[in-house]
């Protein structure tokens, strides 16, 4: 038996229980309860809950014996789940389907691929250096919006206040002739947010082709942009 975080079991169970209860009541507040919202809420709760790890069957038994502590933890997690439902629905990310005509859909190639890393950046106001929010950031290549790896990633990326000016993209893998080939991909980030000047930032991403398409996000596959600033017309960054 490997290392296991028993808190995850409780969180998944509580989310499932609460979703079923909301559906049974007819969902009077019209919460979105799709699979993506479910995963967003699970992440929200896990990021605010202390993990508890076990490495043996005895560990499972001890967790089950401590019933009072488990009940209290379930109650605390249930509170977080309801809070997560409200927050996720309030900050609902636009679905990729709504922009399908602009960015298409992603299908992983069966051949060797260039796994484009996640592209991460931050955007600030050049007036007071505060994080920007309420605007969209676009990722372009060859005059087109770049297709994202799957529906969990946006392009355009719609920025909200609780992300402290951060934006992220994960382009879909691109076919390669063979593994081990190095290629440089040219991209540009474009942001229009009147009354600021339109911002366009060009950059290059070197990628080595691999046999398989990357199946999960990893911090090891991240390309970080320099901090970007938006200025009113006539102003320039020092």
Q: How many domains does the chain have?
A: 2
Domain shared by 23 and 75, yes or no: yes
22 is a domain residue? yes
Domain shared by 116 and 78, yes or no: no
Residue 144: which domain range? 101-230
Q: Write the pLDDT tens digit of every residue in 108-128.
A: 556 899 999 999 999 999 999
Average pLDDT over residues 136-148: 95
48 is a domain residue? yes
The whole-number pLDDT of residue 236 equals 54
C-alpha to C-alpha distance for 176 and 51, rounded to whole angstroms: 41
Q: Kindly tell me if the per-residue pLDDT of 172 is higher than 90.
A: yes
* β partners of residue 137: 157, 191
The whole-number pLDDT of residue 238 equals 46
Average pLDDT score, the chain: 82
Domain shared by 143 and 28, yes or no: no
The whole-number pLDDT of residue 99 equals 43
Domain shared by 160 and 222, yes or no: yes
Domain shared by 59 and 115, yes or no: no
Q: Write the pLDDT tens digit of every residue in 47-87.
A: 888 888 776 555 555 555 555 566 778 888 999 999 889 88
Please give the residue that has the higher pLDDT: either 173 or 219: 173
pLDDT band at 133 (very low <50, low <70, confident <90, very high): confident
Domain shared by 62 and 110, yes or no: no
The whole-number pLDDT of residue 158 equals 87
CATH number of the domain within which 127 lies: 2.60.40.10
Domain shared by 149 and 174, yes or no: yes
Q: Write the pLDDT tens digit of every residue in 177-208.
A: 899 999 999 999 999 988 899 999 999 999 99
Q: Kindly tell me if the per-residue pLDDT of 227 is higher than 90.
A: yes
72 is a domain residue? yes
pLDDT band at 32 (very low <50, low <70, confident <90, very high): confident
Q: Write the pLDDT tens digit of every residue in 91-114.
A: 665 444 444 434 444 555 568 999
Domain shared by 77 and 115, yes or no: no
The whole-number pLDDT of residue 81 equals 92
The whole-number pLDDT of residue 233 equals 86
């Amino acid at each position: 038996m490997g290392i296991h975080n028993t808190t995850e079991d409780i969180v998944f169970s509580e989310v499932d229980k609460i979703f079923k209860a909301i559906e049974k009541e007819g969902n009077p507040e019209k919460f979105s309860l799709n699979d993506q919202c479910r995963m967003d809420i699970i992440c929200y709760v896990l990021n605010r809950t202390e993990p508890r790890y076990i490495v043996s069957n005895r560990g499972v038994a001890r967790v089950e014996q401590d019933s009072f502590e488990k009940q209290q933890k379930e109650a605390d997690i249930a509170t977080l789940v309801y809070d997560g439902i409200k927050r996720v629905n309030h900050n609902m990310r636009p679905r990729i389907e709504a922009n399908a005509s602009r960015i298409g859909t992603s299908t992983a190639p069966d051949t060797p691929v260039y796994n484009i890393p996640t592209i991460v950046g931050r955007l600030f106001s050049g007036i007071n250096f505060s994080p920007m929010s309420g605007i969209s950031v676009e990722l372009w290549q060859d005059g087109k919006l770049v297709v994202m790896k799957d529906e969990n990633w946006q392009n355009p990326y719609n920025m909200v206040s609780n992300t402290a000016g951060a934006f992220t993209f994960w382009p879909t893998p691109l076919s390669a002739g063979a593994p081990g080939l190095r290629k440089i991909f040219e991209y540009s980030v474009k942001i229009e947010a009147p009354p600021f000047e339109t911002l366009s930032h060009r950059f290059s991403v070197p990628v080595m082709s691999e046999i398989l398409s990357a199946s999960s996000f990893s911090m090891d596959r991240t390309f970080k942009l320099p901090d970007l600033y938006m200025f009113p017309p006539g102003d320039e960054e020092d």
